[in-house]
A and B are shown apart, each in its own frame.
Chain A
Amino acid sequence: MKFVDEFRSSDYSKLLVETLQNSSRDKINIMEVCGTHTMAIFRYGIRDVLPGNVTLISGPGCPVCVTPQSYIDNALDLSSREDVIIATFGDMMKVPGRKSSLLKKKAEGSDIRLVYSPMDCLTIAVDNPSKQIVFLAVGFETTAPMTAVTAIEARKNGLSNLFFFTAHKIVPPVMEALVTDKELNLDGFLLPGNVSAIIGTEPYEFLSKDFNIPGVVTGFEPVDILQGLSTLISLISKKDYSIANDYKRIVRTDGNSQAKEYMDKAFNIVDSNWRGIGKVPKSGLEFNRDFEEFDALKHFKISYEEYDGSSGCRCGEILKGKINPTQCPLFKQACTTENPIGSCMVSSEGTCAAYFRYYK
Chain B
Amino acid sequence: MCLAVPGRVLSIEGKMGIIEVGSIKRKVFLHLVPEVSVDDYVLMHAGCAIQMIDEVEAKITLDILKELAESEVCR
Residues of A near any B CB (own CB < 8 A): 1-4, 6, 9, 11-12, 15-16, 18-19, 34-36, 62-64, 89-91, 116-120, 139-140, 142-143, 145-146, 149, 193-194, 197-198, 220, 223, 227, 246, 248-252, 256, 258-259, 262, 347-349
Q: Is the CB of A15 within 8 A of B72?
A: yes
Rank and list the top 6 A-B pairs by shortest CB-CB distance, nearest first. Answer: A117-B47, A248-B57, A249-B58, A3-B6, A89-B1, A197-B51
* 10 interchain pairs, CB-CB under 8 A: A3-B58, A6-B62, A15-B69, A63-B2, A91-B1, A117-B48, A140-B2, A142-B50, A348-B1, A349-B2
Q: Count the B residues whose beta carbon is within 8 Å of the partner chain — how many?
A: 34
Residues of B near any A CB (own CB < 8 A): 1-6, 8, 21-22, 29, 31-34, 41, 43, 45-48, 50-51, 53-55, 57-58, 60-62, 65, 68-69, 72
Beyond A139-B1, A149-B31, 6 additional contacts (C-beta under 8 Å) are A1-B21, A15-B69, A146-B46, A248-B54, A249-B54, A256-B33
- B28 and chain A: residue at smallest CB distance: A117
Q: How far is A166 from B57 in the complex, measured between Cα atoms in Å? A: 35
Q: Is the CB of B51 within 8 A of A256?
A: yes
Q: Which of B22, B48, B51, B72 has the most CB of A within 10 A?
A: B51
Q: Is the CB of B45 within 8 A of A116?
A: no
Q: Is the CB of B69 within 8 A of A11?
A: yes
Q: How far is A89 from B2 in the complex, measured between Cα atoms in Å? A: 10
Q: Is the CB of A194 within 8 A of B2?
A: yes
Minimum distance in angstroms from A109 CB to a CB of chain B: 25
Question: Within the complex, which residue of A36, A118, A249, A251 is in contact with B3, where a contact is CB–CB below 8 Å?
Answer: A36
Q: How far is A1 from B34 in the complex, measured between Cα atoms in Å? A: 24
Q: Is the CB of B41 within 8 A of A2?
A: yes
Q: How far is A250 from B21 in the complex, measured between Cα atoms in Å? A: 16
- A18 and chain B: residue at smallest CB distance: B72
Minimum distance in angstroms from A121 CB to a CB of chain B: 11
CB-CB < 8 A to A251: which residues of B? 51
Q: Is the CB of A15 within 8 A of B53?
A: no
Q: Which of B5, B54, B65 has the most CB of A within 10 A?
A: B65
- A64 and chain B: residue at smallest CB distance: B1
Q: How far is A14 from B12 in the complex, measured between Cα atoms in Å? A: 40
CB-CB < 8 A to B69: which residues of A? 11-12, 15
Q: How far is A250 from B32 in the complex, measured between Cα atoms in Å? A: 13
Q: Is the CB of B48 within 8 A of A149?
A: yes
CB-CB < 8 A to B2: which residues of A? 34-36, 62-63, 139-140, 142-143, 194, 349
Q: Is the CB of A116 within 8 A of B46?
A: yes
CB-CB < 8 A to A197: which residues of B? 4, 43, 50-51
Q: Is the CB of B53 within 8 A of A259?
A: no
Q: Is the CB of A256 within 8 A of B6?
A: no
Minimum distance in angstroms from A145 CB to a CB of chain B: 6
Q: How far is A19 from B57 in the complex, measured between Cα atoms in Å? A: 22
Q: How far is A118 from B1 in the complex, measured between Cα atoms in Å? A: 11
CB-CB < 8 A to A140: which residues of B? 2
CB-CB < 8 A to B55: which residues of A? 249
CB-CB < 8 A to A90: which residues of B? 1
- B34 and chain A: residue at smallest CB distance: A258
CB-CB < 8 A to A4: which residues of B? 5-6
Minimum distance in angstroms from A332 CB to a CB of chain B: 24
Q: Is the CB of B51 within 8 A of A250?
A: yes
CB-CB < 8 A to B8: which residues of A? 2
- A62 and chain B: residue at smallest CB distance: B2
- B64 and chain A: residue at smallest CB distance: A227
Q: Is the CB of A116 within 8 A of B47?
A: yes
